[in-house]
A = this chain, B = another copy of it.
Amino acid sequence: MQKIGFIGLGIMGKPMALNLIKAGFPVHIYVRRAELLRELTEAGATAHASSKELAEQVDVIITNVPATADVEEVLLGKNSVIHGAKPGAIVIDMSTISASATKRIAAQLESKKIEMLDAPVSGGEKGATEGTLTIMVGGKATVLEKVQDVLNTMGKQVTLIGDHGAGQIAKACNQIIIAETIVAVSEALRLAEASGVDAAKVREALLGGFASSRVLEIHGKRMLDGDYKPGFKANLHRKDMHLAMDQAHLANLTLPGATYAMKCIDRLVMKGHSELDSSAVHIIAEE
């Protein structure tokens, strides 16, 4: 089995790494937080002092960090993956970052004969824990083939979208659809409530018809219960919406619906709710 290096053991990364260990992959980690380090090594992971040292020991390096700058740091920075990885190693970046930065990073890694896939995910903490993530892949089909088993351990649906960056574009599409559908469901439930009608019954009826969606099902319930424990935090959805809108800007599109949804999430974060699930835009609309 391929030796896996895992960098970025947050809400998503930790359960993903644990699933790899459970599946029998030798997992190497680079992590700074002592508590996480203990939990993962107790589960069977091998710890390293830097990304470079980790990269020297493994065949596949998975990164799952917050932003473009973090990916650049662990892959291209001082004591980073590019300085340790063997020729033929494969980097799978599962973070959600800029598609154009992804292309640039892939080119730099390629100059050292290191392969790269962008493979952002959808499905949240639940999907990460249950190994049922949706994984959107950009890069070469021949490279994907080599790590198909690794990705199948973390996700139930792995789709090769296109070349480097295409996975990130698909993720941007995913995030704007979710944000805009959250706005739609929030507006519908407010229309019901403000009209004196039981919004829970409206949701129930609509789930059987053409207006049905995962967002109506899951986030609609959150809105009715006023329970915004994440799920997917507003500050992360905000980051993703800005990435998507940057991409729209590059592609010369305006996307007014997505722009409005982004502003709603911006406002939610500005009001101090960055740690709530992003479906909490429902509460700020009411203020």
- Please list the residues of chain A having a beta carbon within 8 angstroms of any beta carbon in chain B: 99, 122-124, 127, 133-134, 136, 156-157, 159-162, 166, 169-170, 172-178, 180-181, 183-185, 187-192, 194-198, 201-202, 204-206, 208-216, 218, 244, 247-248, 250-253, 255-258, 260-261
Asked whether B157 lies within 8 Å of A191 as measured between CB atoms, the reply is no
Specify how many copies of this chain sit in the oligomer: 2
Q: A174-B209, A213-B214 are in contact. List 18 more A-B contacts (CB 8 A).
A: A99-B195, A122-B211, A123-B210, A127-B209, A159-B204, A159-B208, A161-B198, A162-B198, A173-B211, A174-B211, A175-B211, A180-B183, A184-B257, A190-B255, A191-B251, A194-B251, A195-B251, A210-B218
Task: Collect the chain B residues with CB atoms within 8 Å of residue A198's CB.
Answer: 161-162, 166
Question: Could you pull out 6 A-B pairs where Cβ atoms are within 8 angstroms?
Answer: A99-B195, A122-B211, A134-B210, A170-B201, A177-B206, A213-B213
Asked whether A194 lies within 8 Å of B253 as measured between CB atoms, the reply is yes
Q: Across the two chains, which residue of chain B brings its CB closest to A211?
A: B177
Q: For the complex, what is the distance from the CA of A56 to the CA of B202, rounded to whole Å?
A: 35
Q: For the complex, what is the distance from the CA of A257 to the CA of B156, rounded to whole Å?
A: 33
Determine how close the nearest CB of chain B comes to the CB of A167; give it in whole angstroms. 9
Q: For the complex, what is the distance from the CA of A228 to the CA of B216, rounded to whole Å?
A: 25
Asked whether B123 lies within 8 Å of A209 as measured between CB atoms, the reply is yes
Asked whether B248 lies within 8 Å of A191 as measured between CB atoms, the reply is yes
Q: Across the two chains, which residue of chain B brings its CB closest to A253?
A: B194
Q: For the complex, what is the distance from the CA of A80 to the CA of B37, rounded to whole Å?
A: 78
Task: Collect the chain B residues with CB atoms within 8 Å of residue A212's CB.
Answer: 213-214
